[in-house]
Amino acid sequence: MTRDRRAFSLVEVLVVLSVIGVLLALLLPAVQKVRSTARRMACQSNLRQIAIATHNYESTLGHLPPAFRHRAFETPDPNVQWPLLIAPHLELDSHARMVTEDFRKSQDPFLPTPHRGVSIPLKAFSCPSDPRTAVAWEYSFVYTLARPHPTMITVKLALNSYLGNGGAHSKLRDGVIVADGRMPLLHVQDGTSNTLMFGERPPPANLWIGWLYVGWGATGPNGNGELASVIGVLDPNPFLVRYGNSGPCGPGPFPYREPVLNATPDCAMFQYWSLHGGGANFAFADGSVRFLSYSADPVLPALATRAGGEVVEIP
């Protein structure tokens, strides 16, 4: 005896597909939120490792790492920025040795051939929310430090998601990560839990700054690291300072706020911000890491100074 089998009707199939579609529509935002949270936590973990490495650097050498070692000073590795200086304390000893070897061969990181480390991304300085920082990018620019004349060069550059705290005003060196600095933690008189050490700033789309290996600042070879390795939260537009013309972004200072993504011009390069939405992660001088919403803009200058004597309540 055979039993007839009834197939699904068109209406039943459509109902099932509609239910599945509704479930997927409800599930997708949840999945995206979980992924976004995971990326933000991974970014916080990076900053925590960076803060611990910076403390180990300070314990070993007696001072915090400088933003970079300026070419004008007698140094074996001119213009190397703070990420490479703390690399040995991030279990990147082999990378640090490679940097030392290449600088022994040539103190110029780009000529006659680029140093190997120029194009090697380091996971500790790559925020997962910005996949650009996980790979090297080809970039062409006029290298003004080339001898005897400025030279157009093309290199692959590794990028950095984080900047040191140069203070409220990086020119005044009132932060904790400053050019050629030799500052011990004891000089952080406002309290290490109330003083910024590092924060997020994705490199701009034109890759003009945000390099991992070397840098000298937005104002050229005589700069103090601003926008390249550090930022001051009340800094004016460096173009205005150097050239007398601030361009389309205005004279500054630039508030801590949600930027317009993919905007032209890319004025977000002048401020802390992140791709997490709503704010950015910051490492404080005590080693803690906190996510500060953009509503913290009014207190950010007080958090940036190491000895301003301000009373700060973080929102």
Instruction: Provide the phi-psi class of 284: left if phi over 0, else alpha when psi is between -120 and 50, else beta.
Output: beta
Q: Which pLDDT band holds residue 197 (cuts at 50, 70, 90)?
A: very high
Residues 148-155, mean pLDDT to the nearest whole number: 91
> What is the per-residue pLDDT for 70?
77
> What is the per-residue pLDDT for 222?
63
Report the C-alpha gap between 210 and 228 in whole angstroms.
Answer: 5
Residues 141-162, mean pLDDT to the nearest whole number: 91
Three-state DSSP state, 250: coil
Phi, psi at 83, each rounded to 5°: -60, -40
Largest CA distance in the chain: 98
Least confident of 73-82, 185-194, 255-264, 277-286: 73-82
> What is the per-residue pLDDT for 14?
73
Q: With a cut of 80, say whether residue 74 has pLDDT above it.
A: no
Report the C-alpha gap between 111 and 108 in whole angstroms.
Answer: 6
Q: With a cut of 70, say whether residue 34 has pLDDT above it.
A: no
Q: With a cut of 80, say whether residue 2 has pLDDT above it.
A: no
Q: What is the DSSP secondary structure assignment for residue 187, as one 8-state letter? A: G
- Beta-strand relationship, 162-167 and 230-232: parallel
Q: With a cut of 70, say whether residue 7 has pLDDT above it.
A: no
